[in-house]
Structure formats: structure tokens, C-alpha cells
Amino acid sequence: MNAPMNTPVTAPPAHPLARCVMVLGTTSGAGKSWLTTALCRYYSNLGLKVAPFKAQNMSNNARVVAAPTLATASAALPPEGAHPALGRPGGGVAGIEGAWGEIGSAQYFQALAARAVPEVRMNPLLLKPEADTRSQVVLMGQVSAELTALPWRGRSQLVWPQIAAALDALRAENDVVVIEGAGSPAETNLHASDIVNMRVARHAGARCLLVTDIDRGGAFAHLYGTWALLPEDERALIHGFVLNKFRGDASLLAPAPQHLQERTGVPTVATIPMQWHHGLPEEDGVFDMTPTLGTGVSSLPPEGALAARGGPSPLNRPHTTPGAVHTTVAVVAYPRISNLDEFQPLKNVPGLRLQWVRSPADVAGLRPTDWIVLPGSKATAADLAWLRAQGLDQSIAAHAGQGGTVLGVCGGLQMLGEALIDPEGIDGNAPGLGLLPLVTVFEPAKTVQRTSAAFGQLTGAWAPLSGVAACGYEIHHGQTAQHPAMAAKGDVAREVMPGIAWQNPAGNVLGVYLHGLFEDAAVLHALFGAQAPTLDTVFDGLADGVARHFDPGVLDALIA
């Protein structure tokens, strides 16, 4: 194994540590990520130095952030005045080799809400599912083949020293650390190997909130059952229950909160109403027309679950912003979709209909001015096979053949080419969709970096991007280039951003490695003449919401 795996990343701090508030949930999707983000901005608004933390996240939505060693962390911060998420455009942070790493998107946005520089200590362990029983393990921002090969339970003791040291370092540098748990802390089959819930809470002496989704029903049973299954010393860390996604008359909740407090000694400190379009990018799953306060997502069905159904899939429930619809953007939702949160800004573009599709019926009736988007994928060859099994390859080819607009991002770019070649067994070999004369070769080394570059001259539907400078991030194993045999026959892709973006000669198909395009205001303005609400506006709205819906004094008492 790599030598640093069992080595603490910093010495124990020698001065008072940050106060820690932890958000636990009775289930996945209860609203932990949303509430953690809101609390980061709430405490930051008090003038405190705040950082988020989640020991272990499982998600294929990842962001590229600073990954300096802790010994050089202060030297690795971006220059004063730079956007905290970007560092120095076009290269490593402060010239440190390997100074980029991956964390879950939720912690990235939580860091921005806290007005902190996102970096790998905020999510030291990231699991990126590649199949139902296999995940790629990313430790302190870097892929670990050794940890990936280990069984789930065998991994926890090896990674805990790094997790604890990352948390201790954040506590030494901040006034408040807002910690997010994962799933439920009361899964008794996982308790002995826990590294993300109560073990973290005990280590940090965190004051914990337990949040539940009341819209699902059974909220009080979920709260009581979770509390009851915890050991007594861990119950003592629960300082308040939170009811999330409530619809109706709050007075009708009585006497349930009182009865719950009589049995547990824990008060219900907030009843947060159901809200639509909260503006926070989705962490997991896909959005539908009614995203809710919490995750606002609709989980992806199992692979093949919709294949036998006729007609449009249940996922094809479009989100339309106010105004006359001028463009439909249809994003293909394959089973191992990744980085779907980057499409959140499109939900705020006036007159744009955004929908997820998983069958040919979902894209029937699209006009040439409408888009089909092939997003990122954690298993490109497998998702390409799934796409063909649904018949979507023919639908995409037909749309492109009629001059329809097609965009491929990262894995989607790779699918648009002629072939996927995998000599190292990284992802899999496969013929591509043949819409761009490119070939992709998968390599063991993974490209993980922030990137700033300008588009060259584009034509057709993508012409408005000509000369536009864009900032984003890259996460990919494949390396893509012009197919040499096709070039010899005169079929050449136009490389409109060196090594990053290519366009077909007709001008309607574009493939890019750059994630985060639609989070760039210049790109949005060029394509739609629109300016979406800023993330700061979203974060402040979340903070205002928790200030209104928590009992007076509770949030301040948690850090007293």
C-alpha cells in the first residue's frame, strides 16, 4: 500500500479547536446536505471562519479542488481576489505538483457557502460507484487502487487516521466546522466499522442535529427509532430533531413533538416547510419538476428498470422556467451518470425546458434547435452499451442527422467518437456513436485538474461560444484525439479548444472534456443571453430559511 495511507497528515493541534455542529439523518435524502450548506452560510454570516466536513461521501458527482499537503496548505491558497473555487487558472495551485484532487460536489458547494476555499480535507474519502458492488476509492483527493481492491469493512481502520487528522486540522484553523453524516447513524450492521457518523461525532465532540423527511411519512418513528438504536453515550450528542419538507398546518403536529421529547429528552427544534426550486445543485439522483427542500432529487431507477416500459419514462418530467419555451435541453440519464449537478444553472434560464431522458420516446418530437446532451459517466463503455440497448443511439443519430444540436461532456464526448480503446482494462472497449471522427484511449493515469481556456472559432449552433473564455474542471481517464484513418480520408474534427473540445464539420455536434460550462456566466450569456442567479444568492436564501424556521437561539447555542 502507499506509505502515506496510515500516516496522519498533521500533528495534533496545540490550541483550542473549532466548535463542531453535525447534521445526521434518519435516512438518505432526509436533507443533510442542504441543511449543512445552509448552516455553513448561516455561521459564516455571523463573521465566523467556517469549514464543512464529510468524512466519507459516496457519489459520482465530484469537483476538482486544491489538494496541497498540509505542510504547504497555507502557501497553496489561490491569490487574493481569485474565485475561491478556481485557484490559479490553467495549472496547479501555487506550482505544487499534484495539487488537484477530487471531493464530493456537496462539500464543494458547502465550502463556497462557508466562504472557504474548497479542498480535499473537507471530504477526505470519496467513493465513486462503478457498479452495484464496486466503487473507486479516492483518499485525500487521489485515487487509491489498493483501497479500491479492499472489502468495505477492511478499509475503515486504514483510512480513519487520515480522516481524523483532516478533521483535526480543519478544527485547528476554523471557528466552526459543520459536519455532514451519511445515510443513517443507526445502521447496526455498519456501526462497528463506522467512519462517517457517530465515530466522527465522538471524535469531534459534535453537537448533532437529526433531520428527517416528514413528507415520506413515519417521521416521528424514524426519529425515535434512530435515537433508540444508538448507544447511550452517542444519544447524548443529539441536541435537536429537525422535521424537513413539511406541508400543511404545523399546529397539527402536536402533541407528537412533546411526546417525542418526553421519551428521548431531545426537543424538536425546527419544522422546515416544503420548498420548490431552492437553487442548490443536486448531489445525487436526477431532478424532476418538483425538487424539494433537501436534496430535490428523484433517484435513478436500477439499470434496465425502464427498458420494458412503453412511452415516456417517469424521469421525463421537464423543468421549465417562466416565459415562452424557446429551447428544450434533453439530458440522457444513463445508469452511471456523473457530475449531473453541473446542469443546475440551466434550470434558471428563462424559456428553457430541461428534462432527463431514458428512452427514445423521451426525445421524440425534439426540434433541430433543441439539444440532446450526453453527460459524464463513471462507466463510459457500460453506459454506452445501455444507451444502445434502449435504442437511444438511433434517436441521437437521427437528431444529429437532421441538423439537431448535440453536446457531449467528458464521457459523453468519448461516446460521440468512433471508438473507445482500453488496453489497460480501465473502462472497456466499445464502438462509439460515430458523430465525431475521434478515438479515445483509456490510460491508468487520471486527469484531474481545473482548466481555463478560450474557445476558438465555432460554427453553427455553437458559434456564439467563439472566443469565449471558460473556466471548469476535468476528471477523466481517457485521452481523445483525431481518428487518423478518418483524417486521411478528409473527415476531420475541428479542434476548437486544444485537447479539450471538438466540433463536427456541420457545426451541430460539440464534444468537450470541460465540466462546469454552464456554471460559467460568460458561457450562459453567450448561449442564452441569460444571467442565472448567483450561488451567493442561493446560499443566503438557505441561511435566511434556517434562521426563520429554527427555534430562536438554537443555532447560536449549538456553538456556544
Max CA pair span of the chain: 79
Grid cell for residue 534? 448567483
* CB atoms near residue 321 (< 10 Å): 17
Judge whether 3-11+18-277+540-558 and 319-532 match in fold.
yes
Q: Is the dihedral of CA 445, 446, 449, 452 positive or negative?
A: positive
pLDDT digits 0-9 by tens, 119-134: 999 999 999 888 777 8
Which one is catalytic: 20, 410, 476, 549?
A: 410
Contact 328, 305 (CB under 8 A): no
Q: Give all strands of the β-sheet with 125-131 in edge-to-edge order.
A: 56-58, 125-131, 134-139, 142-143
DSSP H or E stretch at residue 371: strand 371-374
Tell me whether strands 327-332 and 371-374 are parallel, antiparallel or unpaired. parallel
pLDDT given at position 305: 29
d(CA 226, CA 228): 6
d(CA 200, CA 69): 22
Q: Has 239 been annotated as catalytic?
A: no
Grid cell for residue 549? 424556521
Between these two residues, 320 and 450, which has the higher pLDDT value? 450
pLDDT given at position 278: 66
Q: Where would I find the H helices in 314-410?
A: 360-363, 380-390, 392-401
Q: Which residues pair with 319 in a beta bridge?
A: 354
- The CA-based dihedral angle spanning residues 90, 91, 95, 100, taken in that order and rounded to the nearest 10 degrees: 140
Encode 284-295 in three state secondary structure: CCECCCCCECCC
pLDDT digits 0-9 by tens, 325-349: 889 999 999 998 988 888 888 888 8
d(CA 224, CA 263): 8
Which one is catalytic: 476, 483, 515, 549?
A: 515
Burial of 423 (0-12, 13-18, 19+ CB in 10 A): exposed
Residue with cell 466519507: 56
Contact 336, 358 (CB under 8 A): no
pLDDT digits 0-9 by tens, 465-497: 999 999 999 999 999 999 999 988 888 999 999
Residue 133 DSSP code: T
Query: Of 241-255, 321-335, 456-470, where does mean pLDDT reach its minimum?
Result: 321-335
pLDDT digits 0-9 by tens, 27-46: 998 999 999 999 999 999 99
Grid cell for residue 432? 462509439
CATH code for 3-11+18-277+540-558?
Answer: 3.40.50.300
Grid cell for residue 421? 480503446
CATH class assigned to 319-532: alpha beta
Contact 279, 112 (CB under 8 A): no
CA nearest to 84, candidates 146, 40, 27, 20? 40
Supply the angle between the helices 32-45 and 535-549 in degrees, to the nearest 10: 90
Phi and psi angles of residue 67, each rounded to the nearest 5 degrees, phi first? -135, 55
Contact 375, 358 (CB under 8 A): no
d(CA 105, CA 469): 23
* CB atoms near residue 229 (< 10 Å): 15
pLDDT digits 0-9 by tens, 355-408: 999 999 999 989 999 999 999 998 999 999 999 999 999 999 999 999 999 999
**pTM score, two decimals?**
0.76
Residue with cell 448552516: 39
pLDDT surpasses 90 at 350: no
pLDDT surpasses 60 at 145: yes
Grid cell for residue 504? 463536427
Phi and psi angles of residue 147, each rounded to the nearest 5 degrees, phi first? -70, -35
CA nearest to 166, candidates 128, 139, 135, 136? 139
* CB atoms near residue 353 (< 10 Å): 18
- Residue 457 confidence class, pLDDT cut points 50, 70, 90: very high
pLDDT given at position 11: 41
Grid cell for residue 560? 456556544
pLDDT surpasses 50 at 83: no
pLDDT given at position 99: 81
Query: Of 315-324, 392-401, 437-446, where does mean pLDDT reach its minimum?
Result: 315-324
pLDDT (mean) for 523-530: 90
Q: Has 410 been annotated as catalytic?
A: yes
- The structural domains of the chain, with segments of one domain joined by +, span 3-11+18-277+540-558, 319-532
pLDDT given at position 152: 75
pLDDT given at position 316: 41
Peptide bond into 255 cis (omega under 30): yes
- Residue 69 confidence class, pLDDT cut points 50, 70, 90: low
pLDDT (mean) for 218-224: 96
